[in-house]
């Protein structure tokens, strides 16, 4: 009997019967050719999610009207649906999705007043929105004339007809998140006096016209999904009550209402952390919006947003809060989540950390990555099975952190004989130092997953065992992998060894006391997370960082930290260098070179880590093959440790 009978029960939408209630939410398309066509890598990404068991796989970031509606350039992973040349590649991805029994869906967008971006960054356009306006970044917005409204509505219909012709079997109309149709619905954006403004019915007119145009293009029984924000979370904007009233207006006109949340323009782009809930918010924090809509309409309803646990998914369906679960990041982390859950193998599911590395990588790296899934962005190459190793090797791994555990799992799966040694009494590495931080429980789940997979792989685990040259000689391995990690940097300033100083890694150790007033020296992720944790305990916290900002790689994570630091009333002092720890607190040099004292009972040192290169050097010549991975090469993030572990395991 299936452990999750509600989640894996079929559901009928229009003329389709879907195999379960897990739909892959729309995701941006990477990589594309310079002309904006899907590459084999992009097609393989979506095909992998279909093969993993999702009932529907959705492409995102498809814009219907390039003249007015593009929010970012093609280099950021968008498809232009009024470019007929793109449709052959779209047809190939639809075919690849259907090959595995899933339904291909495509999301239609128009950015409204946040559009006006050309096909390239050097090809500007005029911005049009519901009303004459000015964007927060100073861009003039013109009121969209009715002939343009009709042209855009027609573009939705044309895109739908073409998409159906090339094999898509579901259309998702994006009417939320601050895009054009949301702007028309919002009383903050829509100040029109004509039939498109004023009453809710008038403000909803554009959405209904778009739905009607798509329906005319695809015919009856063809499933149309309408995505909307249940609440835009802006003062003076529409509320959940208004959102429910709007859904009543489209009830019966579409096959599925997908209820998301928030409005993230430029700004309030910080609301992106509500649309894509991070580890600071509870899982499924937006489900209540879908539940409210479901009570008011007959059309099936889908929820979305930070839902990562299968038990929660089953409960949402079982209790009638939603009919369908949309997953995006959870299927980055593990595209096989549906198949594993259906088989009752939940321990094998890689748990999404809700860390936004996947979204941040779009902007910083120009490719896709996932902190815990090293196969993301490599789906095309992974379609071709790696050749088996020429011979089975004896592999000795030093260090039981994320990198060492991933190396053990991968090498064991490749058929090698693996011994994993950890000098402490448990596996987990640096993750163990944050296990008492409630908002980092996703990391705890990930550590437990890795430990389960290590044990299931047949790896021999030796705890309380430090790898030395003598131990290597005793085991006589073919391969030694050093994954010994790093140690905290202790800056060479007076007073740093004082009783009022605590290393960030030691905050949660038994017996460590932190005073009421705290200064955290170091504004990286570790420093900010610990500052937020201490502020949640009622501490008065200041963070000082010697650089001009923090979290410089991932803009979405930076936004998340911005929101939480403000919420916790934490002072952030950038371009400020710690000069000495004194009895009264931390003596610093401010951006003007002046000396300033930040009073504190406790100074938390979180200035970074340094690789344990001396340990690596002692092991370097102890086996025929030697590799070093993770923080002992260069202190970085979990992503690099896990990827390094996977790569070395595949190379053996």
The residue with tokens 């420093």 is 527
Cα gap 500→484, rounded to integer Å: 29
pLDDT digits (tens, 9 = 90+) for 530-548: 999 999 999 999 999 999 7
Helices (H) and strands (E) in the chain, counts: 21, 29
Cα gap 641→357, rounded to integer Å: 14
Q: State whether 550 and 635 are in the same domain.
A: no
The residue with tokens 């952030």 is 572
Distance of CA 108 to the CA centre of its chain: 21
Which of the 8 DSSP states describes residue 269?
G
CB 120 within 8 A of CB 73: yes
Kindly tell me if the per-residue pLDDT of 646 is higher than 60. Answer: yes
Angle in degrees, 0-180, between the axes of helices 146-165 and 205-218, rounded to the nearest 10: 30
pLDDT digits (tens, 9 = 90+) for 304-362: 999 999 999 999 999 999 999 999 999 999 999 999 999 999 999 999 999 999 988 76
Q: State whether 161 and 72 are in the same domain.
A: yes
pLDDT digits (tens, 9 = 90+) for 122-150: 556 689 999 999 987 788 999 999 999 99
Q: State whether 93 and 233 are in the same domain.
A: yes
pLDDT digits (tens, 9 = 90+) for 195-252: 999 999 999 999 999 999 999 999 999 999 999 999 999 999 999 999 999 999 999 9
- Residue ranges making up the domain that contains 555: 501-607
Question: Which of these, 302, 332, 19, 40, lies nearest to 172 by C-alpha position?
Answer: 302
CB 97 within 8 A of CB 24: no
594 in a domain, yes or no? yes
Q: State whether 451 and 553 are in the same domain.
A: no
User: Tokens standing for 458?
Assistant: 């047949």
341 in a domain, yes or no? no
The residue with tokens 């259907």 is 98
Q: State whether 444 and 592 are in the same domain.
A: no
Question: Which of 1-15, 155-169, 380-394 is predicted with the least confidence, judged by mean pLDDT?
Answer: 380-394
Q: State whether 506 and 465 are in the same domain.
A: no
Each as own residue / partner, the long-range contacts of residues 467-472 (CB below 8 Å, 24 or more positions apart, any chain) are: 467/396, 467/398, 467/399, 467/421, 467/423, 467/619, 468/618, 469/618, 469/619, 469/622, 471/396, 471/421, 472/396, 472/619, 472/622, 472/623
Kindly tell me if the per-residue pLDDT of 19 is higher than 90. Answer: yes
Mean pLDDT of 555-573: 92
The enclosing domain of 423 has a CATH number of: 3.40.50.720
Q: Where are the alpha helices (DSSP H) in 387-468?
A: 402-413, 441-456
Residues 6+ apart with CB under 8 A from 485: 399, 401, 429, 430, 612, 630, 631, 632
The enclosing domain of 546 has a CATH number of: 3.50.50.60
The residue with tokens 């064991």 is 412
420 in a domain, yes or no? yes
CB 153 within 8 A of CB 210: yes
**Domain end call among 323, 351, 367:** 323
Cα gap 607→501, rounded to integer Å: 13
Kindly tell me if the per-residue pLDDT of 121 is higher than 60. Answer: no
Phi, psi values for residue 404, rounded to 5°: -65, -40
Distance of CA 78 to the CA centre of its chain: 18
Q: State whether 598 and 624 are in the same domain.
A: no
Structural domains of the chain, count: 3
pLDDT digits (tens, 9 = 90+) for 156-201: 999 999 999 999 999 999 999 999 999 999 999 999 999 999 999 9
- Annotate 185-204 with b (16+ C-beta within 10 A) or e (fewer): bbbbbbebeeebbeeeebbb
Cα gap 606→82, rounded to integer Å: 51
**Domain end call among 301, 323, 345:** 323
CA angle 269, 272, 276 (to 5 degrees): 170
CB 451 within 8 A of CB 350: no
Kindly tell me if the per-residue pLDDT of 72 is higher than 80. Answer: no
The enclosing domain of 241 has a CATH number of: 3.20.20.70
137 in a domain, yes or no? yes
**Domain end call among 275, 291, 323:** 323
Exposure of 39 by Cβ count < 10 A (0-12 exposed, 13-18 middle, 19+ buried)? middle
């Amino acid at each position: 009997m299936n452990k999750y009978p509600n989640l894996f029960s079929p559901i009928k939408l229009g003329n389709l019967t879907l195999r379960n209630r897990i739909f892959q939410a729309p995701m941006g398309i990477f990589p594309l050719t310079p002309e904006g066509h899907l590459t084999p890598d992009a097609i393989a990404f979506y095909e992998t999610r279909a093969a993993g068991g999702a009932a529907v796989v959705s492409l995102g970031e498809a814009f219907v009207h390039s003249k007015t509606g593009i929010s970012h350039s093609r280099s950021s992973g968008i498809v232009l649906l009024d470019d007929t040349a793109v449709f052959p590649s779209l047809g190939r991805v639809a075919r690849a999705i259907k090959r595995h029994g899933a339904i291909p869906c495509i999301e239609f967008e128009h950015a409204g007043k946040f559009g006006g971006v050309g096909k390239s960054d050097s090809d500007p356009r005029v911005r049009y929105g519901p009303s004459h306006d000015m964007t927060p970044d100073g861009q003039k917005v013109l009121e969209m004339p009715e002939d343009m409204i009709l042209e855009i509505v027609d573009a939705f219909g044309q895109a739908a007809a073409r998409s159906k012709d090339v094999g898509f079997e579901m259309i998702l109309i994006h009417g939320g998140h601050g895009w054009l149709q949301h702007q028309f619905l919002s009383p903050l954006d829509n100040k029109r006096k004509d039939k498109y403004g004023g009453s809710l019915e008038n403000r909803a007119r554009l959405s209904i016209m778009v739905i009607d145009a798509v329906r005319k293009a695809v015919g009856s029984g063809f499933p149309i999904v309408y995505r909307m924000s249940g609440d835009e979370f802006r003062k003076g904007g529409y509320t959940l009550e208004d959102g429910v009233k709007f859904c009543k207006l489209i009830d019966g006109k579409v096959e599925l209402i997908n209820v998301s949340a928030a409005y993230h323009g430029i700004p309030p782009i910080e609301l992106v952390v509500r649309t894509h809930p991070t580890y600071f918010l509870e899982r499924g924090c937006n489900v209540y919006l879908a539940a409210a809509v479901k009570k008011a309409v007959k059309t099936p309803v889908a929820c979305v947003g930070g839902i990562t646990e299968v038990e929660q998914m089953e409960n949402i369906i079982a209790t009638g809060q939603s009919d369908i679960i949309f997953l995006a990041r959870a299927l980055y982390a593990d595209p096989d989540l549906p198949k594993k859950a259906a088989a009752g193998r939940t321990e094998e599911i890689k748990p999404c950390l809700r860390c936004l590395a996947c979204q941040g990588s779009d902007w910083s790296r120009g490719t896709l990555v996932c902190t815990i899934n090293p196969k993301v962005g490599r789906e095309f190459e992974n379609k071709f099975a790696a050749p088996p190793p020429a011979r089975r090797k004896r592999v000795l791994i030093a260090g039981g952190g994320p990198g060492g555990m991933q190396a053990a799992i991968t090498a064991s799966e490749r058929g090698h004989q693996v011994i994993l040694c950890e000098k402490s009494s448990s596996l987990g590495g640096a993750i163990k130092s944050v296990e008492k931080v409630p908002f980092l429980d996703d990391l705890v789940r990930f550590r437990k997953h890795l430990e389960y997979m290590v044990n299931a792989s047949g790896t021999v685990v030796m705890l309380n065992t430090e790898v030395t040259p003598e131990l290597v000689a005793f085991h006589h391995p073919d391969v030694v992998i050093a994954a010994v990690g790093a140690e905290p940097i202790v800056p060479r300033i007076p007073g740093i060894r004082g009783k009022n100083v605590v290393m960030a890694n030691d905050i949660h150790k038994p017996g460590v006391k932190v005073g009421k007033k705290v200064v955290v020296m170091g504004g990286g992720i570790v420093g900010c997370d610990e500052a937020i944790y201490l502020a949640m305990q009622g501490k008065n916290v200041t963070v000082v960082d010697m650089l001009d900002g923090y979290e410089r790689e991932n803009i979405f994570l930076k936004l998340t930290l911005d929101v939480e630091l403000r919420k916790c009333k934490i002072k952030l002092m950038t371009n400020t260098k710690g000069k000495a720890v004194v009895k009264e607190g931390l003596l610093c040099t401010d951006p003007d070179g002046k000396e300033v004292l930040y009073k504190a009972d406790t100074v938390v040192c979180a200035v970074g880590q340094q690789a344990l290169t001396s340990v690596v050097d002692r092991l370097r010549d102890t086996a025929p093959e030697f590799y070093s991975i993770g923080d002992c090469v260069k202190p970085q993030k979990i992503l690099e440790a896990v990827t390094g572990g996977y790569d070395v395991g595949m190379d053996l």
